[in-house]
């Protein structure tokens, strides 16, 4: 990968922003269970949101490396609550790639500046990775679409003011051709947000249920052609899973770096000698796994930027890096000793937050099934 001077300046600016505008407030956001919307606006004003969007809509028009840098630096704050990469690199690309000119001019500038926070509503109480099982319906009549259903575990579910929702036409027998995507704005009659869900980790990430009861939106709010929702979602999953793999790898690297520095500090303050062989070997093994994963990811980042079809490889990277990250962070927590019982130990938060990575963006079982299918097994 080749980082230009523009990439390097962008990283330094974001590091400074994280130090001044994010890290000092993380504990309070975790207690509140929410990141204030004003923080999103500050990120937008600094040009840290939706970096791939063209200048025509207010964006930077940057390549995928800007997204990688943003994800890495945000993750290194040891805080996943501000789910900017979901907004910038997963949801907004649906609008950018498949939206009409009217939709792009209406929504993209707000997404770039942080006035609009997006969410994607796919998961339901009885339909997770299997989208064909979704029960949410969308019935088009004349120029209006009536949406009914419940979506759950929706990230940015409280803060969002624009939702990309997947729903299906109950009159179409093929469940995959029945799915369409629609844009639903906050305040639309029939659209309600549930209370934030209480979770094991990512406490300041506003995850919620979304309720649609005779929610009526203009037919012009459909994203793409009718019945193409499933294909649209599938087309963007390669990037989503690659980003989750990068997220997990960076979380593991953060935990290991902090643990090594903590052990060095303890050794110095206690006047003790070299770490025991078992501890040193454990740290070496964890570092090796992180670097192996990172090497694979760098290749995939380059392949993705070249437009190659790497669905199997990104699925491999997603399940391997997320499982590795859970092993490494768990191992780091063990090496933290009695500190692991205190919330003052940063690895405690990393341990909680990393638990979700094998689940979202498609469970790791789904990832392995995709690879097995492509291997014709």
Positions annotated as catalytic residues are 240
Going along the chain, which residue ranges are E strands?
Answer: 118-121, 137-141, 144-154, 162-168, 179-185, 191-196, 208-218, 222-223
54, 23 in Cβ contact below 8 A?
no
- The dihedral region occupied by 58, where left means phi > 0, alpha psi between -120 and 50, and beta the remainder, is left
Which has the closest alpha carbon to 166: 201, 126, 207, 136?
136
- Give me Rg for the CA atoms of the chain: 21
Cβ-based neighbour number of residue 370 at 10 Å? 20
Whether residue 262 contacts residue 339, with contact meaning beta carbons closer than 8 Å, is answered with: yes
DSSP result, 152-212: EEETTTTT-SEEEEEEE-TT-SSTTTTEEEEEEETT-TTEEEEEEPP-SS-TTS--EEEEE
| Partner residues linked to 163 by β-bridges | 119, 184
The count of C-alpha atoms lying within 13 angstroms of the C-alpha of 26, restricted to the half-sphere facing its C-beta, is 21
Which residue is it, tokens 């300046």? 9
- Alpha-carbon distance of 149 to 129, in angstroms, equals 17
User: Which secondary structure element, helix H or strand E, spans residue 49, and what is its range?
Assistant: none
CA angle 296, 299, 302 (to 5 degrees): 150
């Amino acid at each position: 990968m080749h980082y230009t001077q523009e990439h390097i300046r962008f990283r330094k600016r974001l590091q400074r922003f994280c130090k001044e505008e994010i890290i000092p407030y993380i504990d309070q956001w975790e207690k509140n269970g929410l990141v204030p919307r004003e923080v999103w606006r500050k990120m937008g004003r600094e040009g840290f949101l939706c970096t791939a969007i063209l200048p025509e809509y207010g964006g930077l028009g940057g390549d995928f490396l800007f997204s990688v840098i943003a994800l890495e630096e945000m993750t290194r704050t040891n805080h996943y609550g501000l789910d900017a990469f979901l907004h910038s690199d997963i949801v907004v690309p649906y609008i950018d790639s498949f939206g009409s000119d009217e939709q792009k001019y209406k929504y993209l500038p707000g997404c770039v500046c942080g006035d609009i926070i997006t969410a994607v509503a796919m998961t339901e109480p009885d339909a997770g990775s299997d989208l064909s099982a979704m029960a949410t319906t969308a019935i088009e009549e004349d120029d209006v679409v009536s949406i009914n259903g419940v979506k759950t575990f929706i990230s940015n579910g409280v803060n969002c003011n624009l939702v990309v929702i997947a729903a299906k036409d109950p009159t179409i027998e093929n469940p995959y051709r029945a799915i369409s995507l629609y844009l639903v704005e906050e305040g639309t009659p029939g659209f309600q947000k549930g209370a934030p869900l209480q979770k094991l980790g990512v406490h300041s990430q506003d995850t919620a249920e979304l309720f649609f009861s005779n929610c009526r939106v203009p037919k012009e709010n459909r994203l793409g052609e009718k019945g193409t929702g499933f294909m649209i979602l599938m087309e963007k999953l390669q990037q989503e899973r690659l980003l989750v793999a990068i997220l997990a790898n960076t979380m593991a690297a953060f935990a290991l770096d902090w643990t090594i520095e903590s052990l060095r500090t303890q050794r110095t303050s206690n006047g003790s000698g070299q770490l025991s062989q078992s501890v040193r070997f454990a740290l070496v093994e964890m570092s090796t796994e992180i670097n192996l994963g990172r090497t694979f990811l760098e290749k995939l980042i380059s392949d993705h930027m070249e437009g190659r079809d790497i669905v199997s490889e990104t699925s491999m990277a997603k399940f391997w890096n997320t499982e590795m990250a859970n092993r490494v962070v768990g191992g780091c927590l063990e090496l933290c000793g009695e500190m692991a019982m205190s919330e003052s130990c940063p690895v405690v938060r990393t341990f909680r937050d990393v638990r979700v990575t094998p689940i979202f963006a498609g469970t790791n079982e789904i990832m392995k099934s995709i690879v097995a299918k492509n291997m014709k097994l």
